[in-house]
Amino acid sequence: MAIALTMPALSPTMETGTLAKWLVKVGDEVESGTILAEIETDKATMEFESIDDGVVGKILVDEGTENVAVGELIAVLLEEGEDASAADSIAADAPATKPAAKPETSAEAPETASEPAPAAAPAPATEKKAAPQPVVAAAPKGERVFASPLARRIAEQSGYDISQISGSGPRGRIIKRDVEAYSPSSAATAFAGGVSLEGDAPYDVVKLSNMRKTIAKRLTESKQTVPHFYLSVDIELDNLLAARKQLNAMSDEYKISVNDFVIKACAAGLMKVPAANVQFMGDVMHQFKRADISVAVAIDGGLITPVVRGADQKGLRQISEETKDLAKRAHEGKLAPEEYAGGTFSISNMGMMGVKQFDAVINPPQAAILAVGAGEQRPVVKNGELAVATVMTVTLSCDHRAIDGAVGAEYLAAVKMFLEQPSAMLL
């Protein structure tokens, strides 16, 4: 019996994905573990492995197709001895099947991420529920670009992405004149030829990546539904910097950063003030027993928040190594979904960019995020005397539904204490 390959749910929040690349073609023999395709989700590019042995009988979704619904039939694998007609019959059946996967997945996303962590076992708070079973769904196909052959060829020869060009032909078909009128970068022409300064400013239409769509959706939802409040505090770093220098001088095998201390301090603070380690779930709250710290990493085209799990139980060296590895793979787009899903608290550090202070947007369903500014030498008054200290301003954004001002202040005081007296984290 031929095997239907459907769009896998590669992360709990994944509803649709982009079929970025096929790594096999019709007729290729594959075995369990063969990488069939690269799938781009809202967060990363993932490899899609075969779990069966067989021969690729049919490919139903072209490379580059966007918005392929989870569960949509994308290819058919033939078992030994089967011929292509078996693939055809599966493919023919596909549209008749009801789309069932979609609503489920979307409903599932927030819930999955917010499952309470088991008391004893240090299993991740997320990923408790398995990804929804792929269902052969007749979800709408990814956007097909309608363009005349000539338009396609001219676009290709000009190095344009045809999907970026809007069509003016019948039913919006892209035709030659659209490609000829298209200018991929008005900025470039402005320098070259001097674009007219009259009328509206020229602009390029930039297509939204899946990541950008997710950022837009999640953060709009956050700012619209989560009542934010903000608490700022200045933290003196001189003790921390001394400790860091000492630690880093001890070995070449690691290099602890200020941010690693911040992660550790935030985790320790959450253990000290468990009332801040919460998520608002509508009619209940989840109070977590482990501090999973999401660290915002700016990457090409957006940002992603890989999670340092159980940071409260990890040493600085381990946190440092994990963070480096996660950031590196985030930049390469190679994070596994479970590595960026979940988290009980977030840190966004813009200190390295010289930002003094900022307010971060909470990443739901989390209830708090710490915005970290640059450490800088500032005049401080100590015992009535003016002195110079290395000071960093941090701002905590809290979801008022889950965290009240007093709890927020208590937590922030704990973080400040751990950062100003790093040795307290050893307790």
Partner 1 sequence: MTAQKFDMIVLGSGPGGYVAAIRAAQLGFKTAVVERAELGGICLNWGCIPTKALLRSAEVFHNMKHAADYGLVADQLGFDLDKVVKRSRGIAAQLSAGIKHLMKKNKITVIEGSGKLVSPGKLSVEKDGKTTIVEATDIVLATGARAKELPHLKADGELIWTYRHALVPNTMPKKLLVIGSGAIGIEFASFYNELGSEVTVVEMMDRVMPVEDEEISAFAAKSFKSQGITIKTEASVTKLDKKKSTVVCTVEAKGGKSEQIEVDRVIIAIGIDGNVENIGLEENKIKVDRGHVVTDEWGHTGVKGVHAIGDLTGPPWLAHKASHEGVILVEKIARDKGNKEIKDLHPMDKGNIPGCTYCRPQVASVGMTEKAAIAAGHKVRVGRFPFIGNGKAIAMGEAEGMMKTVFDAKTGELLGAHMVGAEVTEMIQGYTVARTLETTETELMHTVFPHPTMSEMMHEAVLDAFGKALHF
For partner 1, the binding residues (CB under 8 A) are 148-151, 153-154, 157, 168-171, 175-176
CB of 162 to partner 1, least distance (A): 13
* 228 catalytic per annotation: no
Q: How far apart are the first and last CA of the chain?
A: 61
Which of 228, 286, 331, 400 is the catalytic position?
Answer: 400
Nearer to partner 1, 40 or 178 (CB): 178
Beta bridge partners of 263: none
Q: Report the nearest approach of partner 1 to the CB of residue 65 (Å).
A: 22
Q: Return d(Cα 281, Cα 141) in angstroms, integer.
A: 34
The three-class DSSP label of residue 38 is strand
What is the rounded CA–CA span in Å between residue 42 and residue 20? 12
Helix or strand holding residue 231 (H, E): strand 228-236
Half-sphere exposure of 287 (CA within 13 A, CB side): 8
Q: How far apart are CA 232 and CA 258, in angstroms?
A: 18
Q: CA-based Rg of the chain, rounded to a whole angstrom?
A: 26
Q: Is the CB of residue 349 less than 8 Å from the CB of residue 372?
A: yes
* Residue 79: both structure tokens together: 């078992």
d(CA 10, CA 105): 11
For the chain, helix (H) and strand (E) counts, in that order, are 11, 19
d(CA 377, CA 107): 48
Give the residue among 363, 427, 373 at the shortest CA–CA distance from 398: 363
Long-range contacts of 213-217 (CB under 8 A, 24+ apart): 213/42, 214/13, 214/42, 214/43, 215/302, 215/303
H/E element, 326 = helix 316-331
3-state DSSP assignment of residue 369: strand
Structure tokens belonging to residue 422: 């790093």
Task: Say whether 19 sits in a helix, a strand or coil.
Answer: strand
What are 254's two structure tokens?
Answer: 């690691």
**Under a CB-based contact definition with an 8 Å cutoff, are residues 411 and 270 in contact?**
yes
Residues that are catalytic: 400
